Chain A
């Protein structure tokens, strides 16, 4: 490595640096600011993160550089399109979350909420570009610990406290298993660099097949927890139901997106297609493992969601199923030309973030206005607030994969990636699942548009911050399903070239 050139390396971490600065500003504004200043903390956080989302678009990594796999900051940080697209998603989701939290009493009126969201986003950003076991773990915990705090943010509420505690215990357990897997990998390879581990293992590794597979399984367990994939999903319904709803929205998108970015990078870097130990192709093993997890997650998530009466629990199981769909794209990462698979995962996460924020945003608004959380309470929402009903409908259609919402393209790309990788059976199971899922999404839409509720004539207003948050996310969901498909897809496909 030559002389350290700060100015050449800085753009790769500029969003992180900016977020740290934003966190400090928010912290001081909240502590020392006047009441008027403190009220504006939310806008500082939201606008700050939205502006930082422009950074990866302005300082674009040079293709000549990332195609050779150049790592920055002493081999710690990747500077490639994959990390850039995920950074944009995470920053935007943080910004939207701040706007959505504003009206929630006991959550949005506390400045520290925004601080924690910013720090969690920082962890997510680091995850999406980390290329070293040490940084991977630090990033994971930087994301996780704030999320534990957020889940139990409403301390007085038993359900919130219970959810937070559960989340923490499961999370700590999963982190420990993952860390053990990391230590095994380090033991085999003698290096913490992701690419270096693969090199060391392929060069005549004697550590034994079982040990490598054990390490792989442990790492997958850790990821499985973050993604709320079955069988590591048990925390999901309780946390989703118990946590304040803006937090649920945030947990459901940011930790999932960051984990998928890292999972894609980790599996392709540490266990590449040409890695064979004792004559066994390691990739075949993890592909099969992920196929099984994907099938179980989709099926269980969807089937259990059919029976839910609480809208937040329904969305929790739906998000388990959605994680299963996305895992199809990861399982399709095989062979040398994996741009479709990588693009399908990135695109799906991109659209999923906005879709889920849209649905949750609508639900938060409904819950704060009425204090009710059951699906049947949504009856007649179309008459009470046509806009709100429309926003939630767009979101649900996108989750169900109906055009012109973005979910149609998202699912389409995933199925296409699966068929390309000869996983036709998996694609068929996935489409069968998409039908089951559509049933319960349609039921919610039907309740809003067709059923008659007792409070039919009481309108539900939309405060301005929500109008912005919902309007922006709904527009993005529709755009991603129509004219904006090409640029985002191409950008996402570019992500494969840096792996």
Chain B
């Protein structure tokens, strides 16, 4: 594939950046122009994201397309190579050498896991701009920072170069800090913004050191014992012709992982390989942003303190950035480490699922309910990664999209209720279905999705995760000294199904109290239905939940095609 030409993904990154700068220099008083530029940019990006998603869908499904190729490969045509499969899966690529002597390149592309994320980001970007339509305080700065945040998030999803992934990851953090600290809920915003920023940075910089170590280990391998592998990869087109042994390209690092570059023993401790040592840094480092227990603590406070649009993008997209980066830079690049560590990390994800749901059940604040439910649902994503089989990981991929749209919808609903009722205290709300039917219906759709009701996307996501867990139960065991723990994945499935029950309980409780029940006409006399922009938000975020629930083939085969290289790397067929 031609990787030197212009890619639509480049436009997707740079449109929000340019729009952000343009907005910063507009007249502060001209609010319509500010909004106009922001919504134009966001819509353009959404349109391009749709083009990418369906373009990639076609790339995957067409006759002789990616799935056919992968099936041929799995059937024994050609060597089964994870790096090869990963390269083939990439589309819309563009590569420009950035710092040649260090092997850093601007390299973008999407695969089956990131293409749905690109679409999700576009949806939430438009929804975020629309829901912030009437912000009174410094609208111009808000929109500009929001645009920068969107650009950073996009950058992480489409990075093929590991350095670039870090670059955009850190780039996203600063606008997020300012958005929460500047426009968030007054009581909590400074504390929550700082807490969130520091948590996320701590995770990412430790991962960065791990990434640097990987870079050197892979480079030493390719310029030493793996020189032949390197030359063969260049000759067969896996690596571009101008590659050097030392490189940040994730394709090249994947190749190194596959050929045993990270199996070297370090620190002189027997059995402690490079991959085993660094995997926790990479996986949990990024997992912090995905809310992995016990590093989830920033998340509820952060979500509650943030203004609605930022909660939406934060819980909807940014937590997926964490889960995605943990998959890309953790599982994919250090598969040996994944096999060692994920069997115990799965316990953390179980705590996420059950504990998050229990805490959500106990909350009185509407927004905290949603905040903790995010922690619970993101636990399912990490649990899906921990299955290390096609079914479970595909489920986790779908869950990323489904939960993203669903949580963004939830936070949108909370924001709309709070804007009009001026309280988020669940017991004092009631009967809002009558005055805000759109919002009520949207909440019910989201709620049913989060319970995993068939016909909605939550089911399509959660069912394969549990199925994958069950299937993994026989393969995975955990060695604790002389004691071997086996078949425990099935126990974890049963326990985490408990989380679903609790989810149903709190969703129904909230729906019952907020949207049905007694309406206090005196206290909420000025509460009216929502206007057109808010309705568009609910449609953009709610419709995909139903479409995906009724017609899973729109996304599932694509995500499967993105997971297959990982399965090959993890040693499965």
Contact residues of A with B, CB < 8 Å?
382, 397, 401-404, 408, 412, 415-416, 419-420, 424, 427-428, 431-432, 434-435, 438-439, 442-443, 445-446, 449-450, 485-486, 489-490, 493
Contacts and interface: CB of A to CB of B under 8 A. Distances in A.
Interface string B186-210: 0000100110011001100110110
A493 B99 CA distance: 12
Given A408-B167, A431-B205, A449-B141, 19 more contacts: A382-B141, A401-B170, A402-B174, A403-B167, A403-B170, A404-B167, A419-B212, A424-B213, A428-B209, A431-B206, A434-B205, A442-B177, A442-B197, A443-B194, A450-B190, A485-B98, A486-B98, A486-B100, A493-B101
A449 B178 contact: yes
Contacts of A443: 194
Contacts of A445: 178
A490 B201 CA distance: 29
A493 B101 CA distance: 9
Contact of B208 (A402, A431, A450, A489): A431
Contacts of B178: 445-446, 449-450
Contacts of A493: 101
A428 B215 CA distance: 16
B182 interface: yes
A435 B181 contact: no
A438 B215 CA distance: 26
Contacts of B213: 419, 424
The 4 closest A-B pairs by CB, nearest first: A431-B205, A419-B212, A450-B182, A403-B171
Contacts of B98: 485-486
A415 B170 contact: no
24 contacts: A382-B141, A401-B170, A402-B171, A404-B171, A408-B167, A408-B170, A415-B209, A416-B102, A419-B209, A431-B206, A432-B202, A434-B201, A435-B198, A438-B197, A439-B198, A443-B194, A446-B177, A446-B178, A446-B193, A446-B194, A449-B141, A449-B181, A485-B99, A490-B101
A435 B201 contact: yes
Given A431-B205, A485-B98, A402 B173 contact: yes
- Interface residues of B, dominant DSSP: helix
Interface residues of B, number: 32
Interface in B204-256: 205-206, 208-209, 212-213, 215-216
Nearest to A339: B101
Contact of B174 (A397, A412, A419, A450): A397
Contacts of A435: 198, 201-202, 205
Contacts of A415: 208-209, 212
A444 to B, nearest CB: 12
B101 A489 contact: yes
A264 B100 CA distance: 24
Nearest to B177: A442
A435 B168 CA distance: 17
A416 B209 CA distance: 8
Given A402-B174, A403-B171, A449 B206 contact: no
Contact of A427 (B174, B181, B209): B209
B215 A416 contact: yes
A417 B348 CA distance: 34
A200 to B, nearest CB: 35
B190 A446 contact: yes
Contacts of B193: 446
A397 B209 CA distance: 20
A419 B423 CA distance: 52
A415 B211 CA distance: 11
Contacts of A416: 102, 212, 215
Nearest to B155: A403
A305 to B, nearest CB: 15
Contact of A489 (B99, B163, B197, B202): B99
A420 B216 contact: yes
A17 to B, nearest CB: 33
B209 A424 contact: yes
A432 B204 CA distance: 11
Contacts of B141: 382, 449
A462 B215 CA distance: 45
